């Protein structure tokens, strides 16, 4: 294991001279049927092996064992000449141990067709657990809409790097992307456009349930965002009752921000918000609802405070915890609230300072480090540059504990991908890889175990894996 290419880098690696060869007669013994099935399905295409999964087997090649001790998401992986054992306290830990095991195998294991072996796993012991409990990525499906299959593929990509949260940005000025049965025109009318005008679309509640289930099977929690009171033109266009004069604005297909606002003084607005949040909460098993709150430039400061004072308790009453962009900081807080920091300045702004002063937990999404929609360089064909260019090294080479002033409760890290310029699955790939694995290692691995030179060498070995999976990644010349 001296030269392993695992990303994120494990907390502890103890190499040995032993090695294990996976053969055609191998079997999997698993205390978790779902994780065992996942591992077998990941191995079968390239190896061609049957790999039966059984709760008990006299000579299992790979054992996935739940034990009564250890951290919630941690695992131990032991590779010896006569077999492999992954131990964990919870299924999530087993799943993460499986991801490490898959990365220990030759890169050709990621092929969709049978490849030549041998399938050698280097010997030794790995003991691992995450630095942060929240390790996320956000996909904006509002500016450009992406269907269920694209989202499922994105979830698969996240989970391979131990990312455990998918934040879906479901509403914005350009489109409303989740069906709300009590307000059917939201999706039917508000979801009919996107940036540039052509296309659009939305998820039925059955579609959304499919996404949630696929994510849960990979130990990924879905966080839905309904952005308000700004970024609401699609809702205002679809629902005349939300407008003070009853006249809906035209559909919007541009990329400017800050011009729209819900009518804070109208009770119809709060009936709408209550209905939407209730339906979204009912189909979201995870603990969080994201209510946006950013760039409400056409909402007065007083109206913003009034709106959030009404809306945040609705989230709590639904049994969920509020997440909002850090502009929510000055407003009265609900218990456990998470403020998502997206600034890119050397010093935090007043809204963040207010969130810190109130004791908000902080989700770090510094735009100049982890915004995946930023260009790598001036030559990158899509993306933005308002927060600067973000190379793979820029996304990797920072310490979350030193980003903000003074002590604070950092719940985790999330890498957002806004899609004003992102129109295809290949566009998602280009901006996501190789930077997302960099962010994943920042969020998972202990700071002392991380260094750019080591990461770059390990990451370079993942290029062939992505090629086999059809990932159209950016060939960052500083890595590959």
Contact criterion met (CB below 8 Å) for 277 and 289: yes
Q: Which tokens hold the place of 472? A: 């159209």
Q: For residues 330 and 350, give the distance between their C-alpha atoms in angstroms, rounded to a whole number.
A: 8
The DSSP output letter for 445 is S
Q: For residues 227 and 250, give the distance between their C-alpha atoms in angstroms, rounded to a whole number.
A: 19
- Give the 3-state DSSP-derived string for 17-57, with helices as H, strands as E and coil as C: EEEEEECCCCCEEECCHHHHHHHHHHHHHHHCCCCCEECCC
Contact criterion met (CB below 8 Å) for 79 and 68: no
**Is there a cis peptide before residue 8, judged by omega within 30 degrees of 0?**
yes
Contact criterion met (CB below 8 Å) for 241 and 268: yes
Contact criterion met (CB below 8 Å) for 264 and 301: no
Q: Kindly tell me the burial class for residue 132, based on how many C-beta atoms sit within 10 Å of its own C-beta (0-12, 13-18, 19 or more).
A: middle
Contact criterion met (CB below 8 Å) for 74 and 129: yes
Contact criterion met (CB below 8 Å) for 135 and 443: yes
Contacts of 41 (CB under 8 A, 6+ apart): none
Q: Which tokens hold the place of 326? A: 């850090």
Q: For residues 436 and 442, give the distance between their C-alpha atoms in angstroms, rounded to a whole number.
A: 10
Alpha carbon dihedral 69, 75, 79, 84, in 10-degree steps, equals 80
Contact criterion met (CB below 8 Å) for 467 and 446: no
Contact criterion met (CB below 8 Å) for 465 and 107: yes
Q: For residues 397 and 67, give the distance between their C-alpha atoms in angstroms, rounded to a whole number.
A: 35
For β-strands 410-417 and 12-22, DSSP reports them as unpaired
Q: What is the largest CA-CA distance in the chain?
A: 76
Q: Which residues are catalytic?
A: 295
Alpha carbon 442 to chain centroid, angstroms: 14
Q: How many CB atoms sit inside 10 A of residue 253's CB? A: 17
Cβ-count burial 298-327 (b if 16+ within 10 Å, e if not): ebeeebbbbbbeebbebbeeeebbbbbbbb
């Amino acid at each position: 294991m001296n030269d392993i290419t695992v990303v994120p880098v494990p907390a502890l690696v103890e190499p040995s001279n032993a090695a294990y060869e996976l053969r055609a007669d191998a079997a999997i013994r698993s205390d978790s049927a779902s994780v065992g099935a996942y591992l077998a399905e990941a191995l079968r295409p390239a190896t061609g092996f049957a790999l039966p999964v059984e709760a008990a087997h006299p000579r299992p090649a790979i054992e996935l064992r739940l034990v009564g001790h250890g951290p919630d998401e941690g695992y131990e992986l032991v590779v010896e000449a006569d077999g492999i054992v992954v131990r964990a306290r919870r299924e999530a830990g087993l799943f993460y141990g499986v991801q490490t095991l898959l990365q220990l195998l030759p890169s050709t294991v990621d092929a969709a067709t049978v490849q030549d072996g041998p399938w050698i796993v280097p010997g030794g012991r790995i003991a691992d657990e995450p630095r942060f409990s929240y390790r996320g990525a956000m996909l904006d499906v509002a500016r450009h809409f992406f269907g269920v299959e694209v989202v499922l593929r994105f979830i698969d990509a996240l989970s391979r790097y131990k990312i455990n949260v998918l934040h879906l940005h479901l509403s914005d000025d350009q489109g409303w992307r989740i069906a709300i049965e009590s307000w059917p025109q939201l999706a039917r009318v508000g979801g009919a456009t996107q940036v540039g005008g052509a296309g659009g679309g939305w998820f039925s509640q059955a579609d959304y349930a499919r996404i949630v289930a696929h994510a849960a099977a990979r130990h990924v929690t879905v966080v839905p965002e309904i952005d308000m009171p700004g970024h609401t033109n699609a809702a205002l266009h679809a629902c005349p009752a939300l407008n003070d004069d009853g006249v809906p604005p035209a559909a919007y297909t541009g990329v400017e921000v800050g011009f729209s606002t819900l009518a804070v003084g109208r009770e119809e607005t709060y009936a709408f918000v209550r209905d939407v949040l209730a339906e979204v909460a009912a189909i979201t098993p995870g603990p969080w609802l994201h209510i946006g709150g950013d760039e409400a430039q056409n909402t007065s400061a007083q109206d913003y405070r009034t709106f959030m004072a009404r809306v945040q308790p609705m989230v709590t009453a639904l049994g969920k915890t509020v997440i909002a962009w850090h502009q929510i900081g000055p407003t009265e807080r609900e218990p456990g609230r998470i403020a998502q920091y997206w600034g890119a300045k050397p010093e935090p702004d007043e809204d963040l300072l207010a969130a810190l002063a109130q004791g908000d937990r902080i989700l770090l999404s510094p735009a100049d480090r982890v915004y995946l929609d930023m260009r790598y360089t001036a030559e990158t064909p899509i993306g933005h540059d308002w927060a600067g260019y973000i190379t793979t090294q820029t996304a990797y080479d920072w310490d979350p504990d030193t980003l903000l002033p003074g002590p604070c409760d950092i719940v985790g890290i999330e890498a957002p991908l806004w899609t004003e310029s992102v129109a295809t699955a290949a566009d998602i790939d280009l901006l996501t890889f190789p930077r997302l694995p960099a962010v994943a290692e920042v969020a998972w691995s202990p700071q002392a175990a991380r260094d750019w030179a080591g990461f770059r060498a390990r990451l370079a070995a993942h290029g062939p894996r992505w090629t086999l999976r059809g990932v159209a990644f950016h060939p960052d010349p500083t890595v590959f």
